[in-house]
A and B are shown apart, each in its own frame.
Chain A
C-alpha cells in the first residue's frame, strides 16, 4: 500500500535539544516537502527537495535542516535555533516538483517543546 509515513505521531522535547522527524515514502516520487502548520496560518513551507542530494529553503527555513540521501527519505531536524518549534509538521511528496503536481501528505508529527 503506497504512501507517506511520518514518525513519530507525537514528539516531546526539552528546549535546547535538536530533534529529527522522520518521513519515508514508497510512491517513487521525486519531490518531497516539509510544511509547518500552526492554527490560523495554513501550511508554510520549510524545505523542499526536487531530487536526491538536492534541497532548497522554503519560506520559513531558519532553525531547520534537512537531508535527502535517498529518494524515499527526507528527514527534518528541528534545531535549538528554532525559536518557536512547537507545531504540527507535515511531510509531503509529489511526482515531480512544479506546478500541477498534486501533493500527497503524511499523517503529520505533532512536536511539543517545553
Chain B
C-alpha cells in the first residue's frame, strides 16, 4: 500500500519568513496530493491540493509543488503570519484507491 512520510515534525519560523514542509510517497501510481490544516482543537480543513498532471499550484500565500520523478511534494507558505500556526498534514491517493493515506503531520509555529 501507499506510504507517506512527512518532514519536519515540528517547524518554527519568524513572522514574515517562509515555511516549507515536505512529503514523500511510495506508490508511483498516486495522482492526488492534498494538504490539510488543523488548528488547535479544530477540524482538519483542506487548504490546497494538486494533481499529478501539474507541477505547481498557488493560492495567495500558499503553494504546492510536485516532483513525480522523485515522488515528493512540498507545501510552501510565504510571509507567514501567527494565524498560520497549526498542524499541517499531507496526503496521497491514486485513482483506484478509495481513501487517502496521510503523513504524520507538521506542527508549524509562527513566532511574532
Number of interface residues of B (CB under 8 A): 27
Kindly identify, within residues 65 to 101 of chain B, every residue whose CB is under 8 Å from any CB belonging to chain A.
89, 93-100
Kindly identify, within residues 58 to 114 of chain A, every residue whose CB is under 8 Å from any CB belonging to chain B.
58-59, 90, 97-100, 102-103, 105-108
Interface-facing stretch out of B11-19, B55-63, B102-110: B102-110
Kindly identify, within residues 29 to 51 of chain B, every residue whose CB is under 8 Å from any CB belonging to chain A.
31-32, 34, 36, 42-46, 49, 51
Whether the Cβ atoms of A56 and B100 lie closer than 8 Å is no
One digit per residue, 1 when the CB lies within 8 angstroms of any chain B CB and 0 when it does not, for chain A 35-69 equals: 10000111111001010000010110000000000
Write the residues of chain A forming the contact surface with B, with a CB cutoff of 8 angstroms. Answer: 31, 33, 35, 40-45, 48, 50, 56, 58-59, 90, 97-100, 102-103, 105-108
